[in-house]
Structure 1
Amino acid sequence: MIDNVVSPVLSAHPEHPMLVALRSDGAFPQLVRFALVGGLSNVLYIAVFMVMHSEGSIVANAVGAVASTVLANELHRRLTFHAADRVGWFTAQWEGGGLALIGLGASTAALTALDVALPTAGAALSALILVGVTALVGGLRFLALRGLVF
């Protein structure tokens, strides 16, 4: 399904130098693809977080993290690291999900600190804090996924 959506976009001008460069397996093209996948999965994360915020920020964070991590792991496996033929879905979810648990711990700690320091903080401020924490953890996750998982 993912390939059916992405392939037509990338094949519209297959010989364009920018697309050729972005398809390569060098560190920079992978980082660009990683950031694009991260951005897309963060859109899902923030949407889930905002919808579920009334259940509490910790619950909303956990559900958003799980949903976005499953999506990101699959997109990283197929698109970012071109590893679909080397790494199975379950392995990508298990190992990538394990790395995401570290991010979940960091974001949960940040939300807990915000709840203690500013108990009336709304969803928007919580989401802003989470974007910053997620960006930091994402950089570390890229290095770990590139070097250890894929």
Structure 2
Amino acid sequence: MTCPSLLRRRPEGTDVLGDLPHGPLHRVGETGKAVSERVRRDDTFAQFVRFVLVGGSSTGVYAVLFLGLEWLGYLPAHVVATVFSSVLANEMHRRLTFRADERVGWLAAQIEAGGVSLFGLVATSVALRWLEASVGAAHPALQIGLVAAVTGLIGLIRFIALRWIFRPTGVRIAQ
């Protein structure tokens, strides 16, 4: 005898889990949808979440470049990785975080946000130099960790600066 559940036909386009409309996976999907909708808003909290996501992504790009260029020495690898990841982050912030791509051009964004990035480059370079003077040849993971920590602190300053730079003129910022 064939199992009765095998004889039952499911409507097209559903899968096995489609039979569980109120199960735990359904709740996870609804929660994910709610979080996604919340992060798409244009208030300060949503912009900050997007800012952190972009910052984390560009830090990952930095780490890959830094490790790939380590043979140049820590400072040249740091400068190249910082410049590349900062240009990428500035563009992602312009388009995704602050949705300012129609208000602020690419070059203007790079120049305006680049000042804060330059401050970050100097601060992280000083921190790396201090680490080298204190420890000697530090493991790349420690160097990346130090850069990430300093960048996180500077990121708060950068968020405020970019939020001010990329805000639409004549429009009040949502609190």
The TM-score with structure 2 as length reference comes to 0.74
Are residues 1:116 and 2:129 paired? no
Deviation at 1:22, TM superposition (A): 1.3
**Which contiguous aligned blocks of 4+ residues in structure 1 show a shift greater than 4 angstroms?**
none
Distance 1:74 1:142 in 2: 14
3-state SS in 1 of match to 2:69: helix
Distance 1:29 1:44 in 2: 23
Distance 2:52 2:100 in 1: 17
Q: 1:124 to 1:23 in 2, by over 3 A?
A: same
Larger radius of gyration: 2
Specify every segment of 5 or more residues in structure 1 that has no aligned partner in the other structure, as ranges.
1-12
Are residues 1:132 and 2:153 paired? no
3-state SS in 2 of match to 1:87: coil
Counting only pairs closer than 5 Å after superposition, residues 29-68 of structure 1 correspond to structure 2 as 29-68=46-85
% identical equivalent positions: 43
The TM-score with structure 1 as length reference comes to 0.86
Deviation at 1:44, TM superposition (A): 0.5
Distance 1:123 1:20 in 2: 38
Specify every segment of 5 or more residues in structure 2 that has no aligned partner in the other structure, as ranges.
1-29, 168-175
- May I ask how many residue pairs the two structures share in their alignment? 136
The residue type equivalent to 1:76 in the other structure is H
